[in-house]
Structure 1
Amino acid sequence: MSELKIDSATLELRCPAKLNLFLHIIGRRTDGYHLLQSAFQLIDWCDTLRLTAISENTVRRINPIPGIPPEQDLVVRAAQLLKEFCNVGHGVEIDLMKQIPMGAGLGGGSSDAASTLIGLNHLWGLQLDTKTLCQIGLKLGADVPFFLFGQNAFVEGIGEQIQALPSETPDFLVIFPNQEIATSQIFQDPQLTRDHAPITISGFIASPKSFQSNDCQAVAVRNCPEVKQALDWIADVAPNSAPRMSGSGSSVFGVLDPSQDHAKLKNLLQNLPKGWIGRIVRGLNKNPAYNLVSSE
């Protein structure tokens, strides 16, 4: 699939998911925001976003997600924020085809919001730089700046401190056990680890296999037994994949060895518990929507 399709005043972009190769919580600010360290890896599990410029001075969402009002819809909020920031006098029609599960710890909503900002920056001819887009994106969510940064990264602070990591494109086995976990539920838990010792990007690059824990995982497992079941499922079918949770859950993943029999795994995925979603995905070097920015 092409990364970008241009048909008159319409853009179609892919919005990739991400995995947290590790996630440490190293502190908490006085305003309640948690201070994190994490390695973010883009994967080729993508939503598809279609943006069409319209003359009416409005943001129009077609095929909205059931149960999500416009004021909570991240693509609508992203478009409105950019429109207000640049005082844009015309509008956009937004259609989003979801493939990434919601509440899964895969960053789907943040990726959709980032692609909306990237696409409208191009469609509306705003010429904002990535730093400015990240400042806008941070208002939408902590993961949005990463997707705007557009490549695999070591992320710190509340998500705004981003450094590029060497490109890796391993294969992953990802399982979503059909349980939506609210991020707020995890981060408000009194038993959540909030004092993990900080590490350095150089330390992670030197020994990435030494950093494979997720401080949110213990809380998620306690509140959602399906997370533990999914971790055990991966450990059983891919014993050397170091299964762990992504983000605040509930998705879990393992890193597949190049010698792993993908055909056998795909057959096993047909027998997941009812409602679970499993995929073998490939790591990406760059956000496909980011190619639009980098090509200019």
Structure 2
Amino acid sequence: MKTLTLTAPAKLNLFLHINGRRTDGYHELETLFTLLEYGDQLTFAPLEQDTIEIHGDVAGIPLQHNLIFRAADALRPYKSAARGVRIHLTKNLPMGGGVGGGSSDAATTLLALNTLWQCNLSIAQLADIGLTLGADVPVFVHGKTALAQGVGEKLSPYPVTEKYYLVVFPNVHVSTVEVFTHPDLPRKTPKLSANWALEQTHNDCQELVKKLHPEVDKTLSWLLRYAPSRLTGTGGCCFAEFESAQAAQRVLEQLPSPWTGFISQNAYESIAHRQLAAWRKDEVK
């Protein structure tokens, strides 16, 4: 069997509303995920021995805390093929940036190994496993732009217009735990009405993250010179929407140092899903 290389896509939260806090400590929320055509790259090479090897850009992360390893290990009980895997990660997405890098890597691992190991699990079953790894993992498993509710596990496909996004990382690593446990986080945004519109939404985490991390505030203000800007998730990445790649590129070329950024179009269906379908088709030829 050939090696399999997939792109683990970034996501943007086009908005994030926090509706309340549950008795178990989790938050009720509503958010619109859109998937980008840019992300980390994972290569999966089958091994004859029953081992899971992780290579590449994983320095400093203990194996048992690595979401790629944890995703692979979670599929071990379901595999039909008596083989292991060597996984190589090329990390393009910033850690702590709010673009879902670790969650996307885990979901992409579930999708790839479900095929390579002949687990024959449904997308719904993979998403259930993914939820044990992180709240954002299921949206990457399903691989569609989606409205998420509950703690993020209730997903409804929601097509949005394809745009070009400039995503800027101000070299700030934001702790999701710190944000969601902070007493100043708004937790009373009313739930969406039946006829809600994107321009009426916001990110409930944005003002708090700006206060905790002034560099994020500076980034949002800088982007606002060129287009409406917003924080994604709990940050620290910020984004602005453009009608063309050329318009976004002109702004990226003016990006202050030491900030970094990338441009990507969004897509209704995940690039990882499309690549996996093409690989399967090629395998049966």
TM-score of the two chains, using structure 2 as the length reference? 0.92
Deviations 1:83-132 (A, max 9, x none): 13558643111101111111000011111110100000011111110110
2:81–2:118 CA contact under 8 A, matched in 1: no
* Aligned residue in 2 for 1:217: 206
Residues paired across the two proteins, number: 279
From 39, 42, 61, the equivalent of 1:49 is 42
How much is the aligned-residue C-alpha RMSD, in angstroms? 1.9
Structure 2 residue ranges without an equivalent (≥5): none
* Aligned residue in 2 for 1:276: 259
* Aligned residue in 2 for 1:251: 237
Deviations 1:172-206 (A, max 9, x none): 12111011111111111111111211114x433xx
Structure-2 change in CA distance of 1:285 and 1:265 (3 Å): closer
Q: Secondary structure at the match of 2:267?
A: coil
1:9–1:123 CA contact under 8 A, matched in 2: no
Q: Secondary structure at the match of 1:148?
A: helix
- Quick check: 1:97 aligned with 2:93? no
Q: Secondary structure at the match of 2:255?
A: coil
* Aligned residue in 1 for 2:127: 134
TM-score of the two chains, using structure 1 as the length reference? 0.89
* Aligned residue in 2 for 1:232: 221
Q: Secondary structure at the match of 1:66?
A: coil
Kindly, what percent of the aligned residue pairs are identical? Answer: 39
User: Equivalents in 2 of 1:268, 1:135: separation in Å?
Assistant: 40
From 21, 28, 39, the equivalent of 2:21 is 28
Deviations 1:46-92 (A, max 9, x none): 11110111121111111242211111111111000111355864311
User: Equivalents in 2 of 1:293, 1:134: separation in Å?
Assistant: 18
* Aligned residue in 1 for 2:187: 194
User: Equivalents in 1 of 2:185, 2:261: separation in Å?
Assistant: 27
* Aligned residue in 1 for 2:198: 208
User: Equivalents in 1 of 2:27, 2:209: separation in Å?
Assistant: 17
Q: Secondary structure at the match of 2:271?
A: coil
Deviations 1:18-48 (A, max 9, x none): 1101100111222211111000011122111
Structure-2 change in CA distance of 1:271 and 1:91 (3 Å): same
User: Equivalents in 1 of 2:72, 2:161: separation in Å?
Assistant: 32
Moved over 4 A (4+): 85-89, 262-265, 293-296
Name the amino acid aligned to 1:209: E
